[in-house]
Amino acid sequence: MIGKMSGFNRSVSLNRRALSFGSPRINRTTTWVSKWFRLFVVVGSVFSFIFAVGGYVHVLPNLTQAFHGYGASNFDASNDACNVFDGSWVVDNRYPLYNASECPFAEQGFNCLGNGRLDKDYLKWRWKPKNCDIPRFNVGSALEMLRGRRVVFVGDSMSRSQWESLICLLMTGVEDKKSVYEVNGNKITKQIRFLGVRFSSFNFTVEFFRSVFLVQHNWAPRYGPKRVRSTLKLDKLDDISNEWIDSDVLLFNSGQWWVPGKLFGTGCYFQVGNSLKLGMTIASAFRTAVETWSSWVETMINPNRTHIFFRTFEPSHWSNLTLRICNVTQQPLSEIQGSQKSAFSDTVLDVVKNMTVVPVTVLQITSMSALRSDAHVGDWNDKPSVSDCSHWCLPGVPDVWNEILLSYLFAYYGHPRL
């Protein structure tokens, strides 16, 4: 399971067994025996070749279709392990992949160009792994691959931005835009707990559930001290978790709300069972919550149907977080400034490593995103007086997360014939 996190090789790995046939020993005592023997060898060789090729085609369709059919390049031609998250950003003028102003599901706050950003260089970057390539986005193939499926995102506003990104990517291949709609007629807002967009022509939905902590957030117990206004029940997954079960693709994220200001600063503390844990650190509480999540996954999820992903923590680029000073650069960073890791991401990796029942793919986007100080919303949002160096412009970095996600899905499901 942890192998899935290091690259695509685990997702599409094969156990190839050499096909060998014993050569019959024949006593060549006469000419006719020799002739028949040669004929037998030729026929046997032909059948051996057909059988071997047939087995190859039978075993490998997902690999060849997922990476050759979905994009333009061979993903792992060298057969060496490819860590798709170890690479660099390269200029590619074929980006961006959509126009946020033409996508009704891209909220205005993330549409940097629509909000007045003049430079466009931040739109032209593609992620290039060191030893392979991410297959290029093919909207027709993606729509067909998702036909009849249910894709669910669970998490905070970063998850919502990735959800919006995927919808906008997919809508570029839909002729009748009215055939794509929010199932309850809702507009995208920051507080709504459920949003579901249906692609009716392809019979699939892409859904978002707002669950910023993944575990239950309740009012404080009566016996608690006055400073405790609410608690996170670290041993109970969110009360809407039953809605996530019957999905084909289920992607989680959490981390942005696990900070003192959004917890202790609002009177929110931790609880396990009936016991308040006033002295518990945020790091320890996060680990307990992720362990609760992992137990739920291994108990409630059918791995024969649902593919589970957990996307790691998304870095921000504040010049001064206390004063909310945001300095968006014009180019990506050449090297990561500060730590390229996140304690939250490390915790997720550690917990997933110990899961034994349901495979989980961790999308390790922390380091690659840490280089993109140029791609944040900054002052180009729907509230120009409030800078934002946490969220990302759309189009932008979340599109690359989705390209990686779709590549994994093609490896799982295979490439449909159009």
In three-state secondary structure terms, 358 is coil
Helices (H) and strands (E) in the chain, counts: 10, 17
What is the structure's pLDDT at 268? Answer: 98
Q: Mutual orientation of helices 282-300 and 343-353 as an angle, nearest 10°?
A: 30
Q: Name the DSSP class of 413.
A: H
Question: Do the bridges between strand 230-237 and strand 215-219 make them parallel or antiparallel, or are there none, so unpaired?
Answer: antiparallel
Q: What are phi and psi of 57, to 5 degrees?
A: -65, -35
| Token code pair at residue 163 | 């959800």
When pLDDT is averaged across residues 382-388 and rounded to a whole number, the result is: 82
Tokens at 171, concatenated: 């809508």
Average pLDDT of the residues in 147-174:
98
CB-CB contact of 348 with 290 (8 Å): yes
Calpha distance 202→146 (Å, rounded): 8
Specify whether the CB–CB gap between 245 and 300 falls below 8 A. Answer: yes
E runs forming strands in 141-262: 150-155, 180-182, 194-199, 204-210, 215-219, 230-237, 249-252
Residue 200 has pLDDT above 80, yes or no: yes
- pLDDT of 107 > 70? The answer is yes
For residue 52, the model assigns a pLDDT of 42
Please write down the HEC assignment for all residues of 203-233.
CEEEEEEECCCCEEEEECCCCCCCCCCEEEE
Q: What is the pLDDT of residues 213-269, one digit of tens each?
A: 999 999 998 888 999 999 999 999 999 999 999 999 999 999 999 999 999 999 999
Q: What are phi and psi of 171, to 5 degrees?
A: -65, -20
CB 139 within 8 A of CB 71: no
71-89 burial: b if 16+ Cβ within 10 Å, else e:
beeebbeeeeebbbbebeb
Asked if 264 and 277 count as a contact pair (C-beta separation under 8 A), the reply is no
Judging by DSSP bridges, how do beta strands 268-272 and 230-237 pair with one another? parallel
How far apart CA 209 and CA 284 sit, in angstroms, is 25
Q: Using CA atoms, how far apart are residues 278 and 228, in angstroms rounded to an integer?
A: 9
Under 8 Å between Cβ of 354 and 303: no
Confidence label for 324 from pLDDT (cuts 50, 70 and 90):
confident
Q: What is the pLDDT of residue 134?
A: 93
Task: Please give the residue that has the higher pLDDT: either 349 or 337.
Answer: 349
Q: Which uninterrupted H or E stretch holds 159?
A: helix 157-171
Distance CA(68)–CA(72), nearest Å, equals 6
Residues 6+ apart with CB under 8 A from 145: 406, 409, 410, 413, 414, 415, 416
Distances (CA, A) of 131 to 74, 270, 368: 11, 44, 15
What are the pLDDT digits (tens) for 269-310? 999 999 999 999 999 999 999 999 999 999 999 999 999 999
- CA atoms of 305 and 139, how far apart (whole Å): 23
Q: What is the DSSP string of 66-129?
A: IIIISSSS-S-TT-S---TTSEEEEE-TT--SS-GGG-TTS-GGG-TTTTT----GGGSEEEEE
